[in-house]
Structures are given as structure tokens and as C-alpha cells.
Amino acid sequence: MLPWKGELAGRLDVDVISSELLRGNPLGDPAERPIWVYVPPGYDGSDERYPAVYVIQGYTGHVGMWANRTAYRQPFVETADAVFAAGDVPPCIVVYVDAWTAYGGSQFVDSPGTGRYHSYLCDEVVPWVDERYRTIAAAESRAISGKSSGGFGAMITPMLRPDLFGALATHAGDALYELSYVPEFGKAVRFLRDYDGDIFRWWDDFRSRTAFTKECDSELLITLGCSAAFSARDDGTPELPFDPRSGELRVDVWDRWLAWDPVRMVDEYADALRGLRAVWIDAGTRDEWFLDLGAQAFRDGLARIGVPDDRVQFELFEGTHMAIDYRYPMALAWLALRLAR
Amino acid sequence: MLPWKGELAGRLDVDVISSELLRGNPLGDPAERPIWVYVPPGYDGSDERYPAVYVIQGYTGHVGMWANRTAYRQPFVETADAVFAAGDVPPCIVVYVDAWTAYGGSQFVDSPGTGRYHSYLCDEVVPWVDERYRTIAAAESRAISGKSSGGFGAMITPMLRPDLFGALATHAGDALYELSYVPEFGKAVRFLRDYDGDIFRWWDDFRSRTAFTKECDSELLITLGCSAAFSARDDGTPELPFDPRSGELRVDVWDRWLAWDPVRMVDEYADALRGLRAVWIDAGTRDEWFLDLGAQAFRDGLARIGVPDDRVQFELFEGTHMAIDYRYPMALAWLALRLAR
Amino acid sequence: MLPWKGELAGRLDVDVISSELLRGNPLGDPAERPIWVYVPPGYDGSDERYPAVYVIQGYTGHVGMWANRTAYRQPFVETADAVFAAGDVPPCIVVYVDAWTAYGGSQFVDSPGTGRYHSYLCDEVVPWVDERYRTIAAAESRAISGKSSGGFGAMITPMLRPDLFGALATHAGDALYELSYVPEFGKAVRFLRDYDGDIFRWWDDFRSRTAFTKECDSELLITLGCSAAFSARDDGTPELPFDPRSGELRVDVWDRWLAWDPVRMVDEYADALRGLRAVWIDAGTRDEWFLDLGAQAFRDGLARIGVPDDRVQFELFEGTHMAIDYRYPMALAWLALRLAR
Amino acid sequence: MLPWKGELAGRLDVDVISSELLRGNPLGDPAERPIWVYVPPGYDGSDERYPAVYVIQGYTGHVGMWANRTAYRQPFVETADAVFAAGDVPPCIVVYVDAWTAYGGSQFVDSPGTGRYHSYLCDEVVPWVDERYRTIAAAESRAISGKSSGGFGAMITPMLRPDLFGALATHAGDALYELSYVPEFGKAVRFLRDYDGDIFRWWDDFRSRTAFTKECDSELLITLGCSAAFSARDDGTPELPFDPRSGELRVDVWDRWLAWDPVRMVDEYADALRGLRAVWIDAGTRDEWFLDLGAQAFRDGLARIGVPDDRVQFELFEGTHMAIDYRYPMALAWLALRLAR
């Protein structure tokens, strides 16, 4: 394998979508967003319609990163293409969606703290794609997939919009917040000691210098960004779900986060989940945020509400949260075989 | 300083207390317990009465460990003696209490899972000491002190028995359970994968071999022991507060633990706490269980309910959870100056 | 800053160089190599000649990675462009060289284990660039720069070829091998326990599956690759510098590595080093391979042999070995100001 | 098992030896040293003579620590007694020797930096014991055993004095210094940044406050102490084997250390080693100082010089450097079966 190049069997269109819903968003982020649409080999010479898989990213990810190359591996754009190149997996359109914000992410929800990223994804990106590409424009032929925060988005979006998405894949998706988020709050409190307990002082500092040159940066960024997504005030100000000096949970704010825990959402959205054709769930057994346990708990939730086992692919694989991109094409192939066509 | 010996200015009596309350305890632990009582210099030649400080231990600690020697430091028995040897701190009796169980500890509560260690401490040990030593047998002259689980015991015992204890010192005491315990549950779940999710299979394994030769041992021991202390069934069987495969909290069981979180107990026991003469709270800023945050939250709770600042000594010192025994004599001296005499 | 795009003020040419020296290399790696050449703003409209800075990569890096995007930062191709875009730093040509091998790198030396990468760089890449671009084709106008293994290459290449390179920048470059490599050997031995002490069994395993899905992969890859670079037999077989079961150094093989330690090369190549116009040395104070100490030792060596202080820029900055790409444009600007023009 | 007490089947004599050789030692440490001698069950009622096993300690250990109790385990004094209590292992005398210094240890060598601890052990302690106890006063009936620095002492003492010691047990003994010591030097250099590169400034600081309250303390103490043992100047001043700012090895000083590496001593002392009746070597596979590799290298050395396999017990067990005291009685029993009687 040559490390420095990859030719595609299909075709990747690099485009821009102009979002009305993101216009005037509270962080001043652009309303024009990059969007990459992959069409599989054979698309151009046919008039067939195809299922579509929407791919969203983890925290701090933006669509331009899908082309990043690493040693001995190929970017997902290429490994996704390889899924269809051999011809034994039925072809799909793959849509790479951008939901970046100045805080590093949106969690794919509508929030006065970051913007209307859920609606943008569902009511703008999906129609935009359906208009321009020969998709099968139906939930049973549309999946969503992602890792980490992207896995979270992939879990919640079909719950909220079963009319749009009928399948999902979550790789180490955020879930079981007591285990994945609360320990991070403890670290955040310690980091905030250098900022007099004020996360906005850190934010000012962060923007004034090279990012990620302090140990606290990653932790505080995600804390701030998720507070903006899950617990912003009406005026958009993020509220931390914990006391910034003691880490004690602020019950009312924390409850707003918990309302977004996929594990806790299972019962409320049981009908939507039972309507899904295919659910891929995996995570590394040593995930740094215990997302293997979140995956297990989400999977247990599906069983509890009666999602049939044959619609669920569950695996805890040996690994951490890092360098697990080789799992994405596995899920893509599995979904491609199950989407209606 | 000679490392290998220490002569005391006072006197340490090594004795045994025969407990009625521990007789027939569910773990078959002995009802005869070692008890060490230290009397300060001058005690023997006088008929003065003295305040008493009760010292309890952290998890897996037993009274015999107070004599352990480490490099460049002296055992607490000796550093406690040194507090009074110089003569500038008013003398106290110091009582070293044993509350060991087969699970490594009792958390100093009454439980069908371990035994009646709270009652043993309050209704047997205290009277035993008062009968045999010239103590000032009043709450305002009686303090309790400990580290880690011992710090926890030192926080809760005066809340439950303000008639007995009028002062306390907690060094890195267990508190703010969402941060101190929940991440441990995540680790425990992973360790239990080797035991088919069954902590009793681990327990059988643990007892069959040299203890602490597997990485999981410490974690699972404390998980089991605290379940026995906080959430045993009526028949004594410990119930885990989480699903052993997913880590998902079992709300009803977990609530039994939270009912023992000193941070959450503050409001219910506000009167008792407001009646205390002296409260020492400290922890290391890098405590492995975030007990610095637990300390802060407990201290904030005292402020919230109106405990006057001049009764509280609060410090987060540079350090971890380990090797902090040098803090104990500092607290002892501070308490000695505040106990009524 | 928009995270997902960057326009250049200058121009980046993406090209391929066909190497005679790499043809038939022992690993079967391609002789056609990508090469990226950046020309600064103003280049196209003028007939000026420019100094050139050659940029080489760390272990497992290949030229395609220079375009990788990360959150809140821009790729070096863009930050390098920004150095010249403002106009206050005199313009340079920047050449991104590829020296990838199947083992992940070449260490930029000639070796029967990997190929003639040193000669390829000096005798093929440099003339190729000088023929096609308006460089000032003299050592005093040519610098080389890199990080980690690239920093190593940037130190040794001007020592070996002072006729070609008159300046260098090393960011956390490999040096002081007792501290940077030997501890890795210890880890390698432990990893090799799963492969019966045979690194080639690991290599077969590594090539048969997704790379970097085992903890041992990174460690063993660099061990094998550096053995191929520094201590291959005449037939190309890499020889480990240590006993694969005990870690004991094999003195004769280890001496071949030490002969490539920049710290030890200083005296032999003192004349070449004294002839350099500019030497940038930096590293993070917490570098995982102690390369801050390697940097200090190399800097001390330059002082010892009489390189004047005003030609050396030395800094240990707060940081690790990771995410230090923001240092590269700092060095580039500093070099640009010192290269003869 | 009751955790807080242990009765012995044999008898432990706690005594003091007055050393002429330690009198006036350079650190001002006491010449009167504690010595513990254990006699096995049956000793008192008989006139039999017994083999003797000398037990020495790891760095910062002193003889008083042998009584330390830990959870779920018993002190070595008790587990050693248990070896003989059952009656199936032939009885031995066990001698617990103290070789503490103000620097935390002596490495059991004679040095102008610490004192004549090797001679004290061989020429004073051994005769003292032989005079007072019914030992079989011959090398073939005398063993030495220890862990870590004690394991080192147990390896070198019989090499230097085969006339005295005919068997040894080393648990994770210091060896293969490139792997065990050099990485520590890297850490030491970083710690010394806070002391302007001057280890004596750290030493002054260390003595002025509670020991081990700074992260650097353990590292710098052992660095200083081993420099005092291995590379003191004639006037007793310890010389570091590395440049305190760059970590670069000072070859001449480092060679003095290497001369004390058991792995390198094997060939010089081959005759002595070939004369040993029994050699126990073990270490944990994850030893923090790579002493598993040191153990392997020492064992390989014995094979190389022709020590018969049936005299060597070698094992790498699952574990780290910590909490491995349960290995000591295993070695003691093995030695007891092999000493001449």
C-alpha cells in the first residue's frame, strides 16, 4: 500500500451548503459549510437510486479532517470507497457533514449556545443531498454514523427524527454520562484553579494563544462546548453542570445533560428505536471515557425495549478511544447490506 | 533522627476490647478487638482529666498498622506523641480504634453486611475508654479523626452522634461520591469481565491466593466492602450499586450510597454540624479519588448551613492521597487547642 | 479562523521525483517519490533567486501528511506560507521531502537495510530542486529542518554534507541515545515475549492485520526500522542492538547506533558544525523520549567545539513530544532571516 | 487470618550490634545498629547447629520495617517463621541486617561516601552471629537474600566473599544498569531544574522539611545515595554519573557504576559464582525499573559461565516491583532445602 496517495473507485464531490438555519448563530460561525458527497462506482453511468449514509464527526472534528492521512492506514474517504469498490457490498452514497463550531463541536443538537445544528442536519443537509443526488429519500434507506460525539449524534438523531433516519452506527458514542462526563468535571475543576474557577477566563486565554499548548485545553474546551450544547441559558451563555470550585453537580443543570444521555433516552424514544432497521454499536474495551460501558448500557437498553437482536450488531473490541477509524468501514458495509433499496 | 526506633514521652497501652455488638457479626470477624490508648506525658503523675481524640483508619487499615515505620518518617503514634512532648500543645488522650473486617473495612456504619461498627465505636469503645481513663467524658472534649475512609467516619460519626463527638478532623475523607466512587465502578466493571460479571467469583478467587497479586484486587475489594457497608440486603448480601456488565447505576441501590455521602448529609444533620467546636478538613490537590473536591464540597456545605468560619480549618495542600500521614499531627494539635478542658 | 480551508499566499507544487538511487531498494519501496515545493508570494512575477529550506519528517511520517488538518490549528504548509505572507520575513522556497519506507522511515541515512535515503536527499532531491526552481544553490542559502527523526536528519545531514547545507532546525530531534532509545528497548523486549523474542514474527503479524491495533506496534516498528537504518547486516537484515530476551546491549551493534548519535558526532564533525550559519534547537521540557535532554546535550556540544552563541537559537519550551508543529514556523522564520541571499 | 497479630513458632531476638567499622562513617550515621536474629522452632531445646540466611533490605529500608503490617498479608518475620513452623522445611536461623544510611541506603558496599557497609556485614555481622548462635559457620551453610537494592547486595556479596556466602536469593535485584538506572537519570535532570542543576541544593531542601512531600524526592534520593555508594570521591563527595543539566553520561564516573553492575560482574567473579550451591532469581514481568530484564541478563550470565541449571531457580512472575514480599518465603524455603547441614 502506498501511504501517500489513494485513488477512488467512486467520486468525491467537495461542495458548500449555505445554511439558513445557521445564519446568525450565536458563536458567529459561518453559515456556509463544506459538504462532501461520495458517489459509489457505477453511479455516474446509471440512473439507479441509492441509500445514503450520513457521516458526522467527533468533538473538534471538521469535515476537512476526513482527508487526513496516517501511517499504514488510509483515510476513511478511501476505506469507505474500498467497501464498495470490490463490488460485494451494495453501493451507497456517503455524505460527510460539517457541524464544527468555535467551541469545537455542536453535539448535533439545537441550542441557543451554539446554533441549530440538529435542524441544519435534518432539515437542510438531508434535503440538499436528496435534491442533488439520486438517493432513495426514505428513512429505511438512510443511515447515520459517527464516532465519539459523532456516535452520540448518530444515536440521538434517529431517535428524534425516525422519519428521516432508519439505521445508525455508533463507534464509542457518548453515553452513560455519570461515567463518561463526571470524571472529566473533576479534572476540569482542578484545571480551573488556574483561572479562578472561571471557565470564561480560560476561554479568553485559549483564544489568545496557540491552541492545545496547555494540558487543560482539551478538557476545558469540551466542557465548555457541551455546556453550550446541553445547558445554555436562553441568552446562549453556557452553564456548567457543576460548581467550578468543588465539582459538586448542579442538579438542575446536570439534569439537562442527562436528558441528552442516549442511555436515558431509550425509553422515551422506544418507538423510534424499535423502528430502526439496523443498529451498529461498538467501542474499545479500554476506552478512556468508559464508552465501552456506555455502549453496553445502550445496547442493554435496546434489548429492554424490545429491539430484536438481529437488528443490532454489538461488539466491544480490544482497543482504546484512539485510532479506531478502521472500524468505520466495517459498520458502513454492514449498514449498506441492511438499508432498503 | 534514627529511623528504627522511637521512644514516647507519653505511654501507649495496647489492650483488647471485647465487643458484644460485634459478636456474631455476619463476616465472622472477631469480637475481641485490639485497642491502643495513648496517655500524654504527665498523665501518670496527676489526677487531671483530659480530652480524647479517637483515631480511625482508612480502608484496609487495622490498628496494628499504626506502628508501621517508613523511611525518613515516624509512625503516627510517635508524631502524635511529639505533639504533646514539647509542652506547648495541651495534652490529650489518643485512642486508636480497630474496625477491620474481612472485606477490609466497615466504613464505621452499622450494616447487616459487615456488622455494627458504628454502634461498637460509639456505645462500646467510648464507654470502655471513659471507664478506664481520666477522660473528660463530654462531646465538647471528644474528637474523632481519620484519613480516607477514616476521614469519612470522622465526618459522619459526629453527625449521627453529636452527643458524643464535638470535633473532627478529616484528611481526604470520602465524599462527593459521583466523583470519588463512580469512576471506580467503571474500572470494577472492566475487572469483572474476567469473572463473568460476578463479584463473588472474584471474592472466592481473592481468598484462595495471595492477596493483591492481581491488578483488580484493590478496586474490587473496596467495591465489595462498601456495598456490604452501604447497600447490603437484610440478609447481609452486598448489592452492587451498578450493573456489573454496563456500569449503569442501579438507582435505588445507589441512592442508599448517596444517603451516606457526607456532602449530601450536611443539610439533614445541620444542627449537629453547627454544634461542633472544631472541624479540620484537608486533602491533597491531586487526590486520586478527587477527595480534594469532596473536601471542598463538604466545606462549602458547612458554610451554607452556617457553621462559623472560625471553627473550620480548611486546606488543600500540594499532594496526592498517599503518604499524607504528616498531616495527622497538625490536625491533632489544632484539635487539642480547641477541645474543652 | 476557518478550520477547514486555507488559501496560500504563495504556491505549492505537488510533483514526483524519480530516484535512481532508490531503485531496487531492499524493501521494495517505490523509486518514484512525491515532492512538494512551495514558492513564496512574489516568486512567479520575479526572476529573483531564493534560499531554500528542506523539510523532512518524523518517524512514520510521509509527505502527504503535511496537509493533515487538526482542530484550531493549520497545517504546516499553511503556517509556513503565513511566515512569508506578511512580508516581514524574507521569502524562501520550502521543499517537503519524502523518505518513507515500509518500516516507517529511513532516518535519512544510507543503509543496506532500507536504501540510500541520505544520498537520495543530497544527490537527487537537492539537484532536482535547484534545476527546476530559482534557488540560490549554495550551502549558505540552504537549510534543513525537521522534528523527531526529522530533527535527527536535520542535525546529521549538514554534518555529513556541509557543502550542501549551511543551516538547520531540529525540533525534538533524536539524540542522546542512552536516554532516548535504551528505555524503548526495555519495552520492546517485553512486547517480544508474545513473539518468542523474534521481531520478525511480530513484523509478519503486523503486516497481516490493521496496523497499530496492538500496543506493541509503535514500539516494535521503530525498533525494527532504526535497526534497519543503523545496524543492518550487509545483506540488509536488521540486527537488534540488544538481546531480545534480556535487553542486554549487544556492544558491537549498539556502537553502530551510537556512531549515529548527534551528541557523539559533534566532535568528529566539528568543522562542519562550526561552518553553519544558523542552528535552531528546541524541544519540550516533558518530551516522552527525553529529547529535551538530547537537545541540551547537542547544544552543549556545539558550545564545546566553539560554535558561536549568536548562531544558535536554543529553547526548551513547556510541552511534550506531541502537537509541537506550532514551533516549525518559528524556526522557519528564524532561518529565513539568516540564510544568505 | 487475624490481620493485627502474629505469634511466632520460633523466636525473634531484637538486639544491637556495635560496629567498629561504621564508627566515624562519613554521614555521621550510628555505629550501633539494630540486628534481629530469628531462631527456628526446636532451637532452644536442642544443641543442633543450623544454616543461616542473612536478609538485607531495599533502598530506604531499615530493619525496623520488617515488622510492618499490611492488609491481608503478614510481615516477612511471620511468613519466614511459617516456612519452618510446619516442619517440612529444614530449620534455619534468619538474620535481619541493618545497613541504613542518611541517604537511605549503602548498597552494601564499602565507600568513602557512606561507610564500610560491605565489611561491616561480612567481617562484623557474620562473626557476631556465629559467636552468639549455633550456626554452621561455613559458606555452604550460609545464604544471603534481599529485594531490589537488597537483591543487588545478595548478588554481589557472595561474588566478593565466596568464603562466606554459598547461596543467594535476589528478588528484583538491581542489575542491567543501562535499563534500570539511566532512565532515572533523565527524570533526575528534570527534577534538578528546580534546584539549578545542583543535587546538594535539593539535599538541603529535603532535610529541611517533611520527606517525600515533593515528587522529586524519591528519585533524587536514590540518585544521590547510589552516587555516594558507587562514585564518591576520595573525600566522600558523591559524584553524579551524568551531567546534571543534559543527562549526558560522564563516562569515567559511569564506568564506576557499571563496575558494580551484577550483569557485568559475572565474568570477573565467575569462579565465585560457579562455587555457589543455590541461586534464586526472580522479578515481576512489569517491574518499573526493568529489573525483570536485569534478572534475565544475570541468569543468562550464570549460564554463560557454566553455573549448572540445577543450582538456579529462575522465574519472572506476573507483577511489578511492588508488594512482592510474598516471594521471600518461597525463596527462603528453597534455600533452606539446599544449604549444607
In contact, C284 and C316? CB cutoff 8 Å? yes
Nearest to A290, CA basis, from A179, A152, A177: A179
Residue B1 has pLDDT above 60, yes or no: no
Residue pairs between chains C and D whose CB atoms are closer than 8 Å: 73
Quick one: which of B93, B85, B109, B84 has its CA closest to B228? B109
Indicate yes or no: CB of C190 within 8 angstroms of CB of D296: no
Q: What is the DSSP letter of C20?
A: S
| pLDDT exceeds 50 at position D1 | no
pTM of the entire predicted model: 0.97
Angstrom distance (rounded) from CA C321 to CA C171: 9
Q: Is B133 helix (H, G, I), strand (E, B) or coil?
A: coil
What are chain C's partners, defined as 3 or more CB pairs within 8 angstroms? A, D
* Rounded Cα distance, A159 and A283, in Å: 20
Which residue has 537511605 as its cell numbers?
D104
Burial classification of residue D233, based on how many CB atoms lie within 10 Å of its CB (0-12 exposed, 13-18 middle, 19 or more buried): exposed
CA distance D332 to D93: 11
* 3 state DSSP class of D54: strand
Q: How many angstroms separate the CA atoms of B161 and B272, rounded?
A: 8
Neighboring chains of B (3 or more beta-carbon pairs < 8 A): A, D
Over the stretch A214-238, which tens digit does the pLDDT of each residue have? 999 999 999 999 999 999 999 999 9
Low-confidence ranges of chain C (pLDDT < 70): 1-2, 4
> In this structure, what C-alpha cell is assigned to residue A6?
489513494
Q: What are phi and psi of B284, to 5 degrees?
A: -85, 145
Interchain contact, C182 vs D185, CB within 8 Å: no
Q: How far apart are the first and last CA of chain B?
A: 33
Cβ atoms D339, D277 nearer than 8 A:
yes
Whether B186 and chain D come into contact, CB under 8 Å, resolves to no
As a whole number of angstroms, the distance between CA D40 and CA D50 comes to 9
Residue in chain C closest to D299 (alpha carbons) equals C246
Tell me: the pLDDT tens digits for C21-70?
999 999 999 999 999 999 999 999 999 999 999 999 999 999 999 999 99
C266 part of contact set with chain D, CB < 8 Å: no
ipTM: 0.96
Which chain C residues have a beta carbon less than 8 Å from that of A73?
Answer: 210-212
Q: What is the rounded distance in angstroms from the CA atom of residue C166 to the CA atom of residue C74?
A: 28
Query: DSSP letters of B186-219?
Result: HHHHHHHGGGTT-HHHHHHHHHTS-TT-STTHHH
Is C75 at the interface with chain A, CB within 8 A? no
Cβ–Cβ pairs < 8 A, chains B and D: 80
Q: Report the pLDDT value the prediction gives residue C6, as an integer from 0 to 100.
A: 77
Which of helix, strand or coil describes residue B240? Answer: coil
Those residues with Cβ within 8 angstroms of residue D26's Cβ, 6 or more apart along the chain or in another chain: D112, D113, D114, D115, D236
Contacts of A247 in chain B (CB under 8 A): 176, 179, 290, 293, 296-297
A178 touches chain B (CB under 8 A): yes
If one counts every other C-beta atom within 10 angstroms of the C-beta of residue D16, the result is: 11
Q: Does residue A248 contact residue A242 with C-beta atoms inside 8 Å?
A: yes
Partner-chain residue, chosen from D60, D69, D326, that has the shortest CB–CB distance to B210: D326
Across the range B269-288, mean pLDDT stands at: 98
Residue A242 near chain B (CB below 8 Å)? no
β pairing state of A93-97 and A32-39:
antiparallel
Contact partners, residue B197, CB within 8 Å, separation at least 6:
B189, B244, B245
Residues of D in contact with B330 (CB under 8 A): none
Q: Are D272 and D306 in contact (CB under 8 A)?
A: no
What residues does D32 pair with on adjacent strands? D18
Within chain B, strands assigned E span 11-18, 32-39, 52-56, 93-97, 110-111, 115-116, 142-147, 167-171, 278-284, 312-317
The model's confidence at residue A6, banded by pLDDT at 50, 70 and 90, is confident
Whole-number Cα distances in Å, A64 to A21, C57, C69: 21, 22, 7
Distances (CA, A) of A259 to A56, A147, A241, A279, C15: 21, 20, 13, 21, 53
Q: What are D72's three cell numbers? A: 491481608
Residues 193-212 (B) with a CB less than 8 A from some CB of A: 193
Exposed e or buried b per residue across B206-220, where buried means at least 16 C-beta atoms within 10 angstroms of its C-beta:
beeeebbebebbbbb
D233 to B233, D25, D109: CA distances (angstroms): 68, 15, 15
As a whole number, mean pLDDT of residues B172-199 equals 98
pLDDT class for A1, splitting at 50, 70, 90? Answer: very low
Per-residue pLDDT band at A2 (split at 50, 70, 90): low
Q: For the segment B60-115, what is each residue's pLDDT rounded down to a tens digit?
A: 999 999 999 999 999 999 999 999 998 999 999 999 999 999 999 999 999 999 99
